Amino acid sequence: MDVHEALYTTRIMRRMKPDPIPMESQCRILDAAIRAPNGGNAQRWHFLAVDDLALKARLAELYASCRQQEYADIAAGRLGAAPHEDAVRRAESLARIKKSGDRFVEHFTEIPLLVFVFAVDDHGGANIYPAIWSSLLAARAEGIGGVLTTVLRYEACTVCDLLGVPTADGWRMIAMLAFGYPLGRWGVAANRRPVHEVSSRNQWGESFGARVPEPLWPPDADGARIELDRPAS
Ligand SMILES: Cc1cc2nc3c(=O)[nH]c(=O)nc-3n(C[C@H](O)[C@H](O)[C@H](O)COP(=O)(O)O)c2cc1C
């Protein structure tokens, strides 16, 4: 698969089939993950695969409870919107995520593979997110959808107890990834603010120098979708 296709179409896929993921694919996903950059190449990471039904059932309960806590925090304004964010757009976006999240919870025990990611001293995520993203890209290359979740942080201690994590040695749960063959179609993440709205050059707020009104993949035949700023005359 073309790297740009993978970059543009690796979406969060919450609707998935229960079909098992072959061990070869699981190995390719994690083998790609551990090739990711990480500080000092210390590789302080651990990937714990879960496919046991009883464990998934208990995790489903915890996940549902964590979501309730998260939505309570959002409603109370404790989980803030980004400073630029338009309130109406944010509400629409949250409603969409909630709808697909509800379905995800309802079918949680049917998810064929969960991968819990743990790290020690992860530099606020910097040491572990390249590996997480590589795993999602590698899954995409296999035609497997992934969901990156962090909501279980509300019950991190319970999850770590359940999974026998040696927290006394500094291991911390970073994320739970869910993998499965998608029911939906792969599409470009078009619901993003464009480059020229979120970038600047030399000084914060100065024009980046070009506008990119639409996603640049798939490539346009005439390549005319980058609009360069006209030099001031
Ligand atoms: C750090 C992080 C945490 C996330 N946590 C969750 C989560 O707990 N549950 C969930 O369903 N999605 C979670 N997501 C997925 C986001 O909701 C998703 O990336 C966003 O809605 C954009 O989706 P899209 O790429 O399909 O457009 C998380 C994403 C990130 C980067």
pLDDT in tens, 107-125: 999 999 999 999 999 899 9
- Please list the alpha-helical segments (H only) found in 76-216: 87-106, 129-141, 156-163, 195-198
Q: Is residue 14 part of a domain?
A: yes
Q: What is the pLDDT of residue 77?
A: 86
The model's pTM: 0.94
Do 129 and 231 share a domain, yes or no?
Answer: no
Give mean pLDDT, residues 73-96.
82
CATH of the domain at 10: 3.40.109.10
Nearest ligand 1 atom, CA 192 = 27
Q: What is the pLDDT of residue 91?
A: 85
User: Over the chain, what is the mean pLDDT?
Assistant: 94
Do 137 and 212 share a domain, yes or no?
Answer: no
Q: Which residues line ligand 1 (CB under 6 A)?
A: 11-12, 97, 101, 104, 147-151, 189, 191
Place of tokens 């039904």: 53
Do 100 and 66 share a domain, yes or no?
Answer: yes
Do 23 and 52 share a domain, yes or no?
Answer: yes
Q: Tokens in use for 131?
A: 């590996």
Do 92 and 50 share a domain, yes or no?
Answer: yes
Q: Is residue 187 part of a domain?
A: no
Do 201 and 101 share a domain, yes or no?
Answer: no
Q: What is the pLDDT of residues 17-65, one digit of tens each?
A: 999 999 999 999 999 999 999 999 999 999 999 999 999 999 999 999 9
Q: Is residue 106 part of a domain?
A: yes
Can you tell me the distance from the alpha carbon of 124 to that of 80, in angstroms, rounded to the nearest whole number? Answer: 18
For the chain, what is the domain count? Answer: 2
Q: How far is CA 195 from CA 3, 4, 61, 228, in A?
A: 19, 16, 39, 12
The boundaries of the domain holding residue 53 are 3-180
Q: Is residue 186 part of a domain?
A: no
Q: Is residue 185 part of a domain?
A: no
Q: Is residue 22 part of a domain?
A: yes
| 176 in Cβ contact with 149 (< 8 Å) | yes
Ligand 1 centroid–CA 16 distance in Å is 16
User: In sequence order, which residues have a C-beta less than 8 Å from that of residue 30 and are 6 or more positions away?
Assistant: 47, 115, 135
For ligand 1, atom 23, which residue shows the shortest CA distance? 12
Do 132 and 30 share a domain, yes or no?
Answer: yes
Which residue did the predictor score with more confidence, 204 or 85? 204
Do 129 and 222 share a domain, yes or no?
Answer: no
The answer on pLDDT for 189 being more than 90 is: no
Q: Is residue 31 part of a domain?
A: yes
Q: Is residue 15 part of a domain?
A: yes
Q: What is the pLDDT of residue 224?
A: 64
Do 93 and 144 share a domain, yes or no?
Answer: yes
Give mean pLDDT, residues 171-189.
96
Bridge partners (DSSP) listed for residue 113: 179
Give mean pLDDT, residues 178-191.
93
Do 150 and 222 share a domain, yes or no?
Answer: no
Give mean pLDDT, residues 173-194.
94
